[in-house]
Structure 1
Amino acid sequence: MTNAFTREHARDLLEEWTASPSLVKHGLSVSFSTEAYGVREAARLGLTGPEAEAFVETYACAGLLHDFDYDRHPSLTEHPFVGVAYLREHGWPEPILHAILAHADYSGTPRESHLDKALFACDELSGFLTACALVKPSKSIHDVEVAGVRKKMKDKAFARAVLREDITAGAELLAIPVEEHIGNCLAAMQAHAEELGLAGTPST
């Protein structure tokens, strides 16, 4: 990636196109979770130094940009196609664009690369973990535990818009148990709790 295509640039685009604070936070949470898988994959591939940093940056950018056009273009005929067309016109790397398309089942884009699989796997789960945190009395992601998340997944009335099958399918794509996948994303989001607004509220 060239210096023009950084997570800072990606975040600027997300915030420029997105009026909804919760949708911006979703982009951030998916980015942090996806980036964590980029770090693991870079290590598995033996990447170090600037090469590893550039590799991981791709994962972070894909997370930030996967829904950046949703606020303006929420219909299935436009999202994520409008956003991807914009990014392609401005020279963003194809692996990021492919992953963004692949995160939407209806796009017909197959999930081929590790980035494709990681982005899809982290999307619904990141939203679900946010919901799990916000129902805690503390509203803190630090009080969310893997076992509790698994229990909430079985409660169809809780966060009903979140597709449980995408969470389990994502873990399968990454070839890890669902519990491990939840733990990985939870740790990534906990590490950025303040930025996500999920550090909790002071007790009164």
Structure 2
Amino acid sequence: MTQVSAAAAEALLREWTSSESLVKHGLAVARCTESYGVRQAEVLGLIPEQACAMAELYRATGLLHDFDYDRHPTPEEHPFVGVAYLREHGWPEEMLHAILAHADYSGVEPMSHLDCSLFACDELAGFLTACALVKPTKKIADVEVAGVKKKMKDKAFARAVKREDITRGAGLLGIPIEDHIANCLAAMQTHADELGL
């Protein structure tokens, strides 16, 4: 099995994706998902080496969840083409299951903590990016939880984002929506330079 490397995952994302906004989405989802890997490692009391490996797996999964989307955007192909490629190249099954489960039409339900984390972070990362880009500064540092919740009620704002997936994601993780927003916001603010926000 391939040692899961976020660097290798990011290289693959960039190789397959010409859209810069899609690359940025992958980076944002990766940082949010990674933050849940760090939390889960703490809950499980993992030793540092195992905790790092868990965070790396979560981050790599976020990086690769849409890596085939630029080339294969239809529901018939995404994420199935990407998952087949990853399987062929020895990426771990738990990652592939999470990638399948993030697409609600795939027939694969989110089961593991990794599955739930990716599902929960996908739409929210996109929404938080949209919230940042309407700020005069275009900075994620200026986005606050209360403002995000208000924007979620505005159906005309970022209308492609499925609000129900954000809410369901928080439920899958067993945390209040405010905590989920705060967690992902903190993860994206910490890596604002990388995300161009």
Relative to the length of structure 2, the TM-score reads: 0.99
The Cα of 1:110 is off from its aligned counterpart by 1.3
Which residue pairs with 1:22 in the alignment? 21
1:1-204 matched pairs, under 5 angstroms: 2-3=2-3, 5-198=4-197
What do you get for the CA RMSD once the two structures are aligned?
Answer: 0.8
Q: Distance in 1 between matches of 2:47 and 2:190?
A: 22
The Cα of 1:2 is off from its aligned counterpart by 4.4
Letter in 1 for 2:86: L
Letter in 2 for 1:100: I
Task: Verify the 8 A CA contact 2:28 2:188 in the aligned structure 1.
Answer: yes
Which deviations, in whole Å up to 9, do the C-alpha atoms of 1:28-57 show, x marking residues without a partner?
A: 000000000000000000102211111111
Q: Distance in 2 between matches of 1:103 and 1:2?
A: 22
Identity %: 72
Relative to the length of structure 1, the TM-score reads: 0.95
The Cα of 1:13 is off from its aligned counterpart by 0.3
Q: Distance in 1 between matches of 2:191 and 2:185?
A: 10
The Cα of 1:143 is off from its aligned counterpart by 0.3
Q: Distance in 2 between matches of 1:148 and 1:56?
A: 29
Q: Distance in 2 between matches of 1:140 and 1:77?
A: 36
The gaps in structure 1 that reach 5 residues or longer are 199-204
Q: Distance in 2 between matches of 1:11 and 1:170?
A: 24
SS at match of 1:107: coil
Q: Distance in 2 between matches of 1:120 and 1:193?
A: 22
Aligned length: 197
Letter in 1 for 2:21: S
Q: Distance in 1 between matches of 2:127 and 2:186?
A: 14
Q: Distance in 2 between matches of 1:29 and 1:48?
A: 26
